[in-house]
Amino acid sequence: MKPIWIVDDDQSIRFVLEKALAREELPVRSFTNPRDVLAALDEEEPQVLVSDIRMPGGSGIDLLSKVKERLPGLPVIIMTAYSDLDSAVSAFQGGAFEYLPKPFDLPKAVELIRRAVDESLREEVIDERVTQMPEMMGQAPAMQDVFRAIGRLSQSNVTVLITGESGAGKELVARALHKHSPRGNGPFVAINTAAIPKDLLESELFGHERGAFTGAQTMRRGRFEQADGGTLFLDEIGDMPFDLQTRLLRVLSDGQFYRVGGHQPLKSNVRVIAATHQNLEERVRQGVFREDLFHRLNVIRLRLPPLRERREDIPTLARFFLQKSAKDLGVEAKRISDAALAQLTLFDFPGNVRQLENVCHWLTVMAPAQVIEIKDLPPELLAARGASAGVAPMPSDTWTPAAGAPVAGLDAGVVALPAALARDVADPALATDPALPSAAGPVSIGVATAGAATLPMGASLASALAGEGGAGAAPSWLRDLERDARVRLEAGQPDVWEALTRQFEAQLIHTALELTRGRRIEAAQKLGIGRNTITRKIQELGIDD
């Protein structure tokens, strides 16, 4: 990993940060002024830059601007005194990752730098992927099926019908089919038959002779002639007027057509790819689409899945569109947090990929900071979050203590669990994604609005964890913990809360460290706590990781 650069004329600040980062096994290089930093950039690059604002020989804001010109993706943390909040605003406007007020809490400063390092390493991977990004992307099985079909059709000139919802990317599939076909060096001509008035569509497709109608002062070649030797993409074919469908059928049948007002037949050497969001079989039954044309077009059919059926592709697409929007607007690309990405995946995107691209363009313009958080998402996505995170009302025979309240009434089988734990126990699949909502209900453990989980009266913790009907099995350590709690409470022992809490925390941390093979940062992320917190707890609880 590249070193973290500290820029400050105050020796004590440099010394403290150097020692703290060294304890974290992070390489460090220190500078006393911006001039030396700019000179050092000619030889190497930092992983993260941490700079003061006011220094002899230059301003941290000026340094930020110059560094961003050379390394636009470098996370820069600006240190500032409380009186310099105006400068902090300027820092954000200049693309700073974050600002660190002085005097700062050292553990929080280290945690912020660690977060910037993680973001920098992640962005390096993302940037490499973006530079190699193909014309289409998708890891979802449904998209892999589409890619395989394109591969099989790569050496064919057969007519293809692409179906899918609006905004799903049907034209991208058509372009890929053309690019990888024997006609790849020929022209690709696209026309949206629904966007052109009926009176003009015939002329657009087949061209017209001079004087064919009022305003036709010159001869004009149509799209079939323009696409000669290549591919003609007819988008929204289901909306084509019925009388024009007859002319299109004739071209597909014998490859000949006439310009509007013309008398000489013209030959067409064109591969036709059509697309529609409509159900053409239903259109045929309604009598608004010719059945013979449908069968002529429906030689090979490709169904493009909507975005909600391939949610695993949303993070990759979102990062790509953020990069693309930034490039189009001439600004630095914004980063998006994991929590915000998780929220994006919850949205159904009725407008599909096109809507996601528009959202990313909106975020590039409207998000206030360089890192996009959940609160920065458009209102319609936040509204969807509120709906998805709704909690069913509790029945009258349950009781929910406030989050963090002492365990009370344990003999009646009522216990409060931390919200994060309750979510993970209720559905382990959600443990990897803290932004996903948790299920709530009167029997299984769920997250209530107070941040605690409830059990029905008379139910034990272990039985609830085993699931309805006892189909599952609670972890043995939780059953032991419940037995221990009963024994201590019945015996009237003091400090029951503190003793059991230590056992509980120790087991949680131990389990998380086992899952992450001892990697504390990952364990802390899974538990929803900070890295410094897990380090302190490990020391306090005497955990051997």
Domain 4-129 has CATH 3.40.50.2300: yes
Domain boundaries, the chain: 4-129, 154-304, 308-388, 410-541
pLDDT of residue 160: 92
Beta bridge partners of 59: 54
**287-320 per-position pLDDT tens digit:** 999 999 999 999 999 999 999 999 988 998 998 8
Q: How far apart are CA 58 and CA 63, in angstroms?
A: 7
Q: Packing angle between helix 338-346 and helix 314-329, nearest 10 degrees?
A: 110
pLDDT of residue 522: 81
Q: How far apart are CA 458 and CA 397, in angstroms?
A: 10
Distance from chain centroid for Cα 108: 27
User: Integer distance in angstroms from the first to the last C-alpha of the chain?
Assistant: 24
**pLDDT means over runs of 10, the chain (545 residues):** 89 90 90 90 89 83 85 83 56 71 85 85 54 60 84 84 91 89 90 84 86 75 89 92 88 86 86 93 93 92 91 90 87 87 90 93 89 89 59 34 35 34 35 36 30 39 42 59 77 75 83 84 82 79 71
| Whole-number Cα distances in Å, 297 to 59, 242, 390 | 66, 15, 46
Q: How far apart are CA 282 and CA 299, in angstroms?
A: 18
**450-507 per-position pLDDT tens digit:** 333 333 433 444 444 444 334 445 556 667 777 777 777 777 777 778 777 888 888 8
Q: Packing angle between helix 379-388 and helix 338-346, nearest 10 degrees?
A: 80
**497-533 per-position pLDDT tens digit:** 877 788 888 888 888 888 888 888 888 888 888 777 8
Asked if the domains 4-129 and 308-388 are classified in one and the same CATH topology, the answer is no
Assign domain 154-304 to a CATH class: alpha beta
Just give the CATH number of 308-388: 1.10.8.60
pLDDT of residue 466: 44
